[in-house]
Amino acid sequence: MLVIPAIDLMGGEAVRLQKGDFATKQVYSRHPAEEAEKFAAAGATLLHVVDLDGARAGWPVNLSTVAELCAVKGLEVELGGGLRTLSDIEKVLQLGVAAVVLGTAAVERLDLVRQACEKFPGKVRCGIDARNGEVKVAGWLEGSGLKAAEVARRVKAVGVTLVEYTDVARDGMFTGVDAAGTAALQAEAGIPVVASGGVAGLDDIRACLAAGVAGVIVGKALYEGRFRLADAVAISKGKS
């Protein structure tokens, strides 16, 4: 199981929100690449990056910072936020991004997801963000009227091989990750799913490992020192 540290970008800085509310922004680092280097040193191999400015704008915004993150040795970068055209997807892949995470497009532009999977095989993932069972889009600002499993099945059918599921109500709140819900989504949709949102401690890592999910994304808990990333990575490998 992968333990995937997260960096959310606004104005070139690493920030975190509560429940996806932009008004709750808290800056954790003015130099995100330095945080990424620490994550790599702790044993992480994949970094989850969200361009929050891009999610609101509808196109990638923090490109220079993303390029800096891609330059960190030993760490692949997956990027989401504002990727709604093939040209924008190609642009960030050329920067060195290893995979893109499509969210709004997965709901509103399934044709784009299909085209991206065909043009960039193995480099397209889907982010499914839900509150009270309803998938949210546009930086969690709008409802879609769709259930998570329905979206997961749709994107699997067009070539997506990994889904990242966030319970928006838990995100940044330290209420515990929804390991069981993530595992249920993985089983129902028949696609590997990564859990995200609400991670508070190492017990959440253990719960995800026990549930058999593909991975878990960790963010605010790391920045606030609730556990060491190296310990989480060790647990994910069955070494602790």
Residue-wise pLDDT for 99-142, tens only, equals 999 987 888 889 999 999 999 999 999 998 887 767 877 655 55
Mean pLDDT, range 35-57, rounded to an integer: 95
Closest CA to 61 of 100, 10, 99: 10
Strand 76-80 relative to strand 13-18, pairing: unpaired
Per-residue pLDDT at 19: 58
Residue 188 clears pLDDT 70, i.e. is over it: yes
Per-residue pLDDT at 172: 63
Say if CB 182 and CB 210 are below 8 A apart.
Answer: no
pLDDT in tens, 167-183: 877 666 678 999 999 99
Q: What is the CATH number of the domain that holds 227?
A: 3.20.20.70
Residue 38 DSSP SS3: helix
Question: 11 is written with which tokens?
Answer: 């104005």
Alpha-helical runs (H) found in 42-178: 52-57, 63-70, 86-95, 104-108, 110-119, 148-157
Helix 179-189 and helix 148-157, axial crossing angle in degrees, nearest 10: 40
> Which amino acid is it at 16?
R
Per-residue pLDDT at 171: 65
Please identify every residue annotated as catalytic. Answer: 8, 129
Closest CA to 65 of 33, 98, 99, 27: 33
pLDDT in tens, 189-212: 999 999 998 899 999 999 999 999
Per-residue pLDDT at 190: 96
Task: Name which residue leads in pLDDT, 166 or 203.
Answer: 203
Report d(CA 35, CA 79) in Å as an integer: 16
Residue 52 clears pLDDT 80, i.e. is over it: yes
Residue 111: which domain range? Answer: 2-236
Number of domains comprising the chain:
1
Q: Please, which residues have CB within 8 angstroms of residue 47's CB and are 6 or more apart in sequence?
A: 4, 5, 6, 7, 36, 39, 69, 72, 75, 76, 77, 78
- CA distances from residue 125 to 37, 119, 138, 140, 170 in whole angstroms, order as listed: 24, 13, 17, 18, 22
Question: In angstroms, how far is CA 27 from the centroid of its own chain?
Answer: 18
Task: Name which residue leads in pLDDT, 26 or 34.
Answer: 34
